[in-house]
Amino acid sequence: MGFLDNLESSLKSLEDSDERDPREHVRRQEERTRAVAIGPWAERLKNGPYTQKLLDQAAVAGHRLRTKIYMAWFDDTLRLEAKQRRLELRPTADGVAAAFIETDGATKTQAVDLESDPGELLREWLGQ
């Protein structure tokens, strides 16, 4: 019986803490609204032909430059890393944004057209 009492007490305490902090509810609601807004763009980024072409062309470009291009998904963000430079494709409510992140932390952001050639984005990122 002690375990169930403990569990009930813990749940009650969590409920009380949520009720005490009204900002938590607002934060959760904003987060949910944001997720719903970027959902379609995140889906197109993850499963669309643009991303597949980008990854294929990145592998070829890395081979040509004799450098490894690391590719990873972080939630809805696709990150490519090479020579201490990063390119992140981030879904937003208005579409997909590319963030060019340099070694010194400088960031340049631009919109990405998922119907265009991903080779142009790679050339701009790698400086070819």
Tell whether 92 and 110 lie within a shared domain: yes
Distance of alpha carbon 93 from alpha carbon 81, whole angstroms: 25
Output the pLDDT for position 60: 92
Q: Domain range holding 101? A: 42-126
Nearest in space to 61 (alpha carbons), one of 46, 36, 80, 77: 80
Q: 40 is written with which tokens? A: 């379609």
pLDDT, averaged per 10 consecutive residues of the chain (128 residues), comes to: 76 70 78 84 90 94 91 92 90 91 86 91 85
Same domain, 17 and 53: no
pLDDT at 4: 75
Residues 33 and 83 in one domain: no
Cα–Cα distance measured from residue 81 to residue 105, given in angstroms and rounded to the nearest whole number: 14
Predicted TM-score (pTM) of the model is 0.73
For residues 97 and 107, give the distance between their C-alpha atoms in angstroms, rounded to a whole number: 12
pLDDT of residue 53: 95
If one counts the domains in the chain, the total is 2
- Tell me what pLDDT residue 17 has: 65
